[in-house]
Amino acid sequence: MANVAVVGMQWGDEGKGKIIDLLCPAFDAVVRFQGGNNAGHTVKFGSGEGDEHFALHLIPSGILHEGVACYLGNGMVINPDAFLAEVAQLERRGIETAGRLRLSDRAHALTPVHVALDIVREEARGADRIGTTAKGIGPAYESKIGRTGIRLAELVAGGEAMRNRQIVRVADFERPAAEGAELDPEAAAEDFTRWAERLSPYLCDLSVELDGLIRNGRTVLFEGAQGALLDVDHGTYPYVTSSNSTTGGAATGSGVPPTAIDGAIGVVKAYTTRVGEGPMPTELVDDVGLHLRDRGHEFGTTTGRPRRCGWLDLVVLRHASRVNGARCLALTKIDVLDELEELRVCVAYRIGGEVVRNLPAVTDRLEAAEPIYRTFPGWKQDTRGVLDRSDLPQAALDYIDFLEQELEASADLISSGPRREETVVSGGGALGEWLGDRFGTVQAAVGG
Ligand code: IMP
């Protein structure tokens, strides 16, 4: 049984929430290792009419599985009020978090100043705006990297260390003020005191904790948020988020060595979406794009913004696959393509007369990229709820086979609808190898 990272292979919103939910029972612990409350997945309570839905933005959905320990890693930036509100939501529905949910004491606090800065900066950028989620993520990471941030451990410890930090922070406060962000040092001091008290029971030394678990043969799932193309190093910079959302981030963002991570499952949506600004070579601004948006319910969980939709892009996916080391794929939303006459897959770009197979580092080149497509016939058949790979239409199998060959990975999970049961699970590839005798828990989760 292995420790595995589950990561997004596009611009986020690939459907990682469902895949992680399916895999959770096979693991002892789930760790989120980057980002903050810019991410989001909807969870559902109850069945049938009167279902209650709400979104979790910070806490892994593993919290809904009894017996799975959930951790928020040092690579994350934590908005304490958002965290406490999620805990309260869960507890109102009878989900006890005490003892099962821990925060790394080295994670950084995301404060109202960061949120205010995010908003004024976006306004100031005008046409060059990034289209952030306005949650303060970029400024919170700036504080961390600029060495003026506040670790949760310091927040809770108070005393001299915290006072010294506060002094630095006061200087740091002048910067947002100069930029026109609203701030109130007195309110901040009150916030710090309240957070210190409320967060204290959740803190742990995550590196020590995970080391203990792994030495004792327990298994860990590392939950990525966003996607490879939003990674601050490997994504479409500057139109990215401010953390490492690829597999490498799982090690630095949780305090385990890279050698402790045995493999990565790359989650790939059967087409491409992107929310926010920035280049997206296969974007469709026609009826097909609208069809994908409608049929795929492509609206952001955190901001409600409509997502830009387009064809699958192998330049993007080869890049993501290489950086993540994704030997296993989870292909999602295949059913959204059911009604299309034909499908296209971008195999390379043409940029200024040159054929390019690898993702360019310069945004302007990517903006200028013209996709070179390979066309596949549509299957025009309902695949919703298919459970067995052999029951998929031949045209869908051809599309999936092509993807697997190009990415040198097996699609061991194929999602054919939003529900847990609507999934094709295959045990012959890397997933079966990694899960070993716990593979049965995934089959049980889909009702197989
Ligand atoms: P930030 O993470 O709020 O700074 O936003 C930076 C970029 O990442 C923007 O394009 C956002 O739309 C995008 N982004 C951040 N989080 C997510 C996510 O969970 N799904 C999809 N896009 C995201």
**pLDDT tens digits, residue range 285-298?**
999 999 999 999 99
**pLDDT exceeds 90 at position 45:** no
Q: What percent of the chain has pLDDT over 90?
A: 80
Nearest CA to ligand 1 atom 11: 132
User: Residue 216 has which token pair?
Assistant: 């004792």
CA distances for 430 relative to 1, 102, 265, 412, 425, angstroms: 11, 30, 9, 8, 12
- Binned at pLDDT 50, 70 and 90, residue 184 comes out as confident
**pLDDT exceeds 60 at position 170:** no
Which of 128, 230, 302, 303, when mutated, tests ligand 1's pocket best, judged by the most ligand atoms within 8 Å of its CB? 230
Specify whether the CB–CB gap between 70 and 102 falls below 8 A.
yes
Q: Separation of 224 CA from ligand 1 center, angstroms?
A: 13
Q: Tell me if 133 CB under 6 Å of ligand 1.
A: yes
Q: Tell me if 13 CB under 6 Å of ligand 1.
A: yes
Q: Tell me if 241 CB under 6 Å of ligand 1.
A: yes
**pLDDT exceeds 90 at position 338:** yes
- pLDDT given for residue 50 in this prediction: 60
Q: Tell me if 38 CB under 6 Å of ligand 1.
A: yes
Q: Tell me if 130 CB under 6 Å of ligand 1.
A: yes
Q: Separation of 303 CA from ligand 1 center, angstroms?
A: 10
Residue range 408-430: average pLDDT? 94
Q: Is the peptide bond before 238 cis (omega within 30 degrees of 0)?
A: yes
Lowest mean pLDDT across 46-55, 83-92, 380-389:
46-55
Specify whether the CB–CB gap between 10 and 269 falls below 8 A.
yes
Distance CA 299, CA 292 (A): 11
Distance CA 3, CA 1 (A): 7
More confident residue, 374 or 300: 374
Question: Active-site residues: which are they?
Answer: 13, 41
Distance CA 14, CA 267 (A): 6
- Binned at pLDDT 50, 70 and 90, residue 46 comes out as low
**pLDDT exceeds 90 at position 205:** yes
Nearest CA to ligand 1 atom 9: 132
CA distances for 179 relative to 118, 135, 238, 357, 413, angstroms: 11, 17, 20, 41, 47
**pLDDT tens digits, residue range 122-163?**
999 999 999 999 999 999 999 999 888 889 998 888 776 666
**pLDDT exceeds 70 at position 424:** yes
**pLDDT exceeds 90 at position 206:** yes
**pLDDT exceeds 70 at position 168:** no
Q: Separation of 324 CA from ligand 1 center, angstroms?
A: 19
3-state helix, strand, coil in the chain (%, to 5): 40, 20, 40
414 forms beta bridges with: 331, 424
Residue range 38-54: average pLDDT? 73
- Inter-axis angle of helices 112-125 and 159-178, to 10 degrees? 20
Distance CA 166, CA 144 (A): 14
- pLDDT given for residue 169 in this prediction: 63
What pTM did the predictor assign? 0.96
